[in-house]
Chain A
Amino acid sequence: MQSTASHAHTSATDSSHGHAHHEPGFFGKYIFSTDHKVIGIQYGVSSLLFLLFGFFLMLVMRFQLAYPGRAVPLVGPLLEYVLGEDMAKGGIVGGDLYNSFGAMHGTIMVFLAIVPVLFGAFGNYVTPLQIGAPDMAFPRLNMASFHCYFLGGVVMFASFFTPGGAARSGWTSYSPLASVTDLANRFDGQTYWLMGMVLLITSSLLGSVNFIATIIQLRCRGMSWMRMPFFVWAQFVTGFLLLLAFPPLEAAGLMQLMDNLFGSSFFLPQGLVVSGSPLPVSGGGSPLLWQHLFWFLGHPEVYVLILPAIGIVAEVIANNIRKPLWGYKSMVYAAMSIGFLSFIVWAHHMYLTGMGTKVATFFQTTTMMISIPSVIILTALFISLWGGSIRFNSASLFALSFLPMFGIGGLTGLPLGFNASDIFLHDSYYVIGHFHYVVAPGTMFAVFAGIYYWFPKITGRHMNEVLGKIHWAGSLFFMNCVFAPMFIQGFKGMSRRMSDGGTTYFGQGIDPGVLKLNNMILWSAVGLGICQIPFIINFFSSIFAGKRTTSDNPWQATTLEWATPTPPPHGNFLQEPVAYRGPYEYSVPGAKTDFTPQGDKN
């Protein structure tokens, strides 16, 4: 057993242990591993699977919007078979099923796909390597964090098969709606959602404690704060956001759980009437309370979704333009300002709730303030490009197209931050277009850039460049075809909540041309899905048959993760790393090569 287990290890692994080590078996190595790199890969694989699942939910919804009341082709019979006749009779997506797919698409994408892939996968794999640490500060907590995440995912997934189906009150689960969707069955999808969220929040709590402690305590010799790569800074700020913003949602989740299971009235006002009869509860609660607690998490969460993405983009861009990032320090201070300000902007999601104009004015002001550091970061990245000799490989193409895409997403957010214009645009497709520009072509492009960039370090093989470029071009084109029409639909006043895509309002003043855009969006989304096939093929074939890397530092990068053997062994570094210089010493005048690694003494 000893010999088979060590067989899979590279020779570098064995030489890294000066002393005798217990070789773990299959379970110890891949399921109950405490190695940050294995946990990073576990997070990566699970979150990419959830990403694909969330994408399929969206495809079904887009079909329903484009062709309301028609049976979904291909998967329709499957839906009816799996979810039952009540939910999908004849393969047609009913209103309830649409609502539950909508709620679960949001939940899965945000909490089970994007955050885990950015923070769990890239954060876990890359952060300790970049600061020259042998592992995370608390390896067993790290493992527990992944297991909580996975269990949370299982609970969320299982909720589809409960009687009445998964949660269907939106990913925001606004009360009282979330407490009255299924009065007969208290153990409904919403209860599963809440239990899943408690597990996911526990996971992110353990993760964020671990990340912050690792970055504070385990930086190697010479790795001062201002020598940390921007990616590490982004993870550091993200860690604080997760640490401090998630607990209020946990508190809110417990309160909603009490409302649903024990009949309390935290979020239920007096005199609530549901389907014509008064709800038998005491009342006296406040629906606004839920929204405040939810968005206290919800807004920092937006920056959890974007900061690590910017971190990845900064790494990839600095490496592929062969010159230092322009304004590294400003970027760091901007990231910290974003972190602080993101805690005081939450109520700009609530302008229409009647919380009062004075409060709205305050949050409008802070919202405009937070756009400043975001623009600083984006501007610094754009100026960095000036005069660089840019390498156009798959990773850098994705990173470069992140900049304008995130720019569109950010700028279209300004009208939503203003109280007056938000009242018109709120809850319309404009909002959907805005935040998907931030997260889909924004964050997702950064994720792809990161995968192409760090793949050689993780596997020792390159991904195929031709397939990568097809993936990039197709994704960029179709992403825009999917999300740009939503701005037009939103301006024309199309609500985001209608399961028939607005057909109900046909002939009541809504422009029929706007509804036709639903077809364009559907087929662009299908195209977007097809464009991911080259990526999936590329990903798996490159693991086994990709071009082997010729050195440990194939991109000629400067940061410490490239100073490890490929793939990095348990314990990461063969000898104690030391950081002698800043993270982006590219094209230093007088240097032998156009890059000077952080760990090089001269």
Chain B
Amino acid sequence: MEIPYTHTPRPDTGLYNAKVGIWLFLASEIMLFGALFSAYILLRVSAPVGFWPDVALAWPRGLLNIPIGTFNTAVLITSSVTVVLAWAALKMNNFARFRVYMVITVLCAFAFLGIKSFEYNDKFSHYVIRLQDGKALTGHIEVDGKHPRFWNFSDQWSVAKLTEQKVAKIKVEVDPARDINGHPKKGASHQHEVREVAVSDIVSMGSYTPATHPFFAVYFLITALHGLHVLGGALVLGYFAFPGAKMWKSNPEQFINRIEVGGLFWHFVDLVWIFLFPVVYLL
């Protein structure tokens, strides 16, 4: 006996096997991201007051680049539209158009990842510095005339490391002053003031990385996990567009099903971002 309903729907459920499978998988994924969002909420509501210096609030706000995030949202939504158009093109028996839309989808995915890695890079060289006088500074730093870069993990600086390497002063491009919501203060200059800080004045310092604050830990974990989903989805859709497209000749019905199932996953990845963007960037 062969396994039934691999590409034709079962009459009483109206679904083929893979469609049941992908919906179940997505249910599980919802629980995975749901747990992470719940963790975000719990950590945020239970954060100790005054734990983050810059904004007089327990939880850092306004540290992420909203225009870039908005642009990335648009990129992902575009890819969600094109993946549907690709599927529809196959339904209309137009393979050439399918391939064009699929390529656009995959390009959007990689554009998203590229923009995301630019954002990551910015965070890895952005520091919060607590000073002896009780004040705190945030901004990008320059050590020996060089900006730290994230692809080199040894470029992460701490007070101990600065002392050890006998660095006396670092330059800080201080961020513009912020209001209680983390937005730049009205009327404040958008110019970065560059200030020299003596290492002996620094109590502690850390870049915008998971070790510095639970906010960054949650931010990096959720976005990195989402990024892995984008990457995985892009690889699978790219496979369907080129090497996997041979099936269009041999078994078109199942090929369309594959695109549909892949598209469902892609919509889910998009949907996670639709929740992630307001929660992490805007709220």
Contacts and interface: CB of A to CB of B under 8 A. Distances in A.
Contact of A137 (B17, B25, B42): B17
A217 B27 contact: no
Contacts of A293: 35, 39
Interface in A199-231: 205, 208-210, 212-213, 216-218
Given A284-B48, A289-B43, A293-B35, 10 more contacts: A135-B3, A205-B28, A209-B24, A212-B24, A243-B31, A263-B210, A264-B216, A266-B214, A284-B213, A284-B214
A529 interface: no
A340 interface: no
A573 interface: yes
Contacts of B27: 243-244
Interface string B169-206: 00000000000000000000000000000000000001
B32 A247 contact: yes
A404 interface: no
Nearest to B17: A137
A19 to B, nearest CB: 9
A254 B43 contact: no
A139 B1 CA distance: 14
A252 interface: yes
15 contacts: A137-B21, A205-B25, A208-B28, A209-B24, A217-B5, A244-B28, A251-B32, A254-B221, A258-B217, A264-B211, A282-B211, A284-B43, A286-B42, A286-B46, A293-B35
A246 B24 CA distance: 13
B210 A262 contact: yes
Given A244-B27, A254-B221, A264-B214, A217 B48 contact: no
B246 interface: no
Interface of A is mostly: helix
The 3 A-B residue pairs with the shortest CB-CB distance, nearest first, are A264-B217, A134-B1, A248-B35
Contact of B225 (A246, A254, A289): A254
Given A218-B4, A247-B35, A251-B35, A282 B206 contact: yes
Contact of B28 (A217, A247, A286): A247
A185 interface: no
B39 A282 contact: no
Interface of A: 16, 133-135, 137-139, 141, 205, 208-210, 212-213, 216-218, 243-248, 250-252, 254-255, 258, 262-266, 270, 281-282, 284-286, 288-289, 292-293, 296, 571-573, 576
A138 B21 contact: yes
Interface in B7-59: 10, 13, 15-18, 20-21, 24-25, 27-29, 31-36, 38-39, 42-43, 46-48, 51
Contact of B221 (A135, A258, A572): A258
Contact of A251 (B3, B39, B43, B209): B39
B2 interface: yes
Contacts of A213: 17, 20-21, 24
Nearest to A259: B217
Contacts of A576: 1
B93 interface: no
Nearest to A292: B42
Contacts of B210: 258, 262-264
A293 B31 CA distance: 11
